[in-house]
Structure 1
Amino acid sequence: MTIKNTTITKGFIIAGLMNASVLIFSRLFTNPTIPEFDPNVMSNFGLLMILIWGLAYMSVAKNYHKVKWLVGIFAVEKLIYGCVWTNWILNNNISDVYEKDLMAGMFYSVYGINDWVFFVFFIYVFLRLSKLKNDG
């Protein structure tokens, strides 16, 4: 399966926009429920860093082919967040979050799925760039 370069560019933009959605779920960092349920990872500082990662994805959207190793770092970052979310889901009751706040519950329900999807996307792009370098 080969994905067009324009589709990959859109993937980077979508990844960034998905990270920027933290602004909605956190109500511009004013929702106290998200940090309450995972204060180490999802503090307001952690949420801000999610936004910054999203801006980084968008910043390379048109030039991703020039920054193979940064794309690899994006994949590692998504792997880490995906693992953290999986661990959180296995050790917490999502219903408790929904009882306190619908937006926080939605956030905890989907953020890891998003991270796993974009981990696959970034690793695909990284491997494709690695193959191109070896073929060229």
Structure 2
Amino acid sequence: MSDKKITNGFILAGLINIIAVLLLSKCFTNDILTDTDPTVMSNFGLLMIIIWGLAYLSVSKAFHSVKWLVLVFAIEKLIYGIIWTNWILNNELSLIYDKDFMAGIFYNIYGLNDLLFFFFFTYVFYKLTKR
């Protein structure tokens, strides 16, 4: 994967975190989303997801210099992916869609997104260790 594609991957990761949270949380007013998993997806938790997005954007062109931070990004995405998998296995997604379509979309996709970016960040870290 070229450096340009990696830069674009960081930008995409950041924009997805920021835009998805703002849209699907209805700018932090979607109580169904926050009430469904108040430990992870409270308004504070959602704000922290935006902060992670800003972090991805901030290193998009300097990822070469922050190899260990890229590993931190991979670990963070893995943790969210595991939490989501556990949530999906123990909850009925259709009940969330019945209450609020946007919250349903959020819970349907956030973990898949995180797992995909876990693989992306892991790949980038691996590539950086080979330089």
- What range describes the TM-score normalised by the shorter chain of this pair? over 0.9
Offset, 1:125: 0.1
Q: Which residue of 2 aligns with 1:11?
A: 9
Match for residue 102 of structure 1? 101
Paired residue for 1:113? 112
Q: Give the TM-score of the pair, scaled to structure 2.
A: 0.98
Shift of 1:131: 1.0
The residue aligned with 2:40 is: 41
Separation in structure 2 between the aligned mates of residue 39 and residue 31 of structure 1, nearest angstrom: 12
Instruction: Report the identity percentage.
Output: 62
Aligned residues: 130
Per-residue deviation, 1:23: 0.4
What is the aligned partner in structure 2 of residue 54 from structure 1?
A: 53
Q: Provide the TM-score with structure 1 as the length reference.
A: 0.95
Distance, in Å, in 2 between the alignment partners of 1:58 and 1:119 is 16
Query: Structure 1: where are the runs of 5+ without partners?
Result: none
Displaced runs of 4+ in structure 1, greater than 3 A? none
- Structure index of larger Rg: 1
Aligned equivalents of 1:50, 1:58: Cα separation in 2: 13
Distance 1:12 1:128 in 2: 15
